[in-house]
Amino acid sequence: MTSPSGYYTATGDDGSTGLLGAERVPKDHPRIEALGALDELSAALGLARAFARTAEARDLAQQVQRHLYALMAEVAATPENAARFRTLGPEQVAWLEARIAALEAQVPPPRLFILPGDSQNGAFWALARAVARRAERRLVPLQREGAVDNPALLAYLNRLSSLCFVLELWENRAAGATYTRAQE
């Protein structure tokens, strides 16, 4: 079936979707659930980027969004095509670790749990952190079952949630906000 529009194909009207390869799977397949969480993560990062007070936070968000598209391509690939789409590795995990360390040197971690929402821009980073954790949880079963075999993907998402937390603190500081502790 061809579409009269460039915005839809109608091929998913039966509840299935295509992978990067010849395979189609149901839209509630674990691989598609992981891709959906990754897509939501990119959108949450876009929101954080749009409201970021600092150029550094905007630049980091944009680079991470680019990494996520590479990560999503690998997750969307059929097993026989996955290597073709593998571009994310230990180097990108190390890149995140270096960014976290640089920011942490300027914004030390709080001693207690804090509540998100001390600034609007910080709250968007908190949302991105939570979505990153969900994306990580959706990827774990695929990794465990061997459907995705690049260990850097889980490590990247794990570090990304930490980067989002540090950026929440960074953006709170840029907004002049103080921390609201979770327990009084």
**25-174: CATH superfamily:** Cobalamin adenosyltransferase-like (1.20.1200.10)
| 116-148 pLDDT tens trace | 989 999 999 999 999 999 999 999 999 999 989
Flag whether the pTM goes above 0.95.
Answer: no
Instruction: Pick the closest to residue 125 from 49, 178, 37 (CA basis).
Output: 49
Query: The tokens of 75 are what?
Result: 């997750």
Buried/exposed 122-155: b ≥16 CB within 10 Å, e otherwise: bbbbbbbbebbbbbbebbeebbeeebbebebbbb
Domain limits, the chain: 25-174
Instruction: Pick the closest to residue 104 from 167, 179, 31 (CA basis).
Output: 167
State yes or no: pLDDT of 161 exceeds 70.
Answer: yes
Strand partners, 181: 114
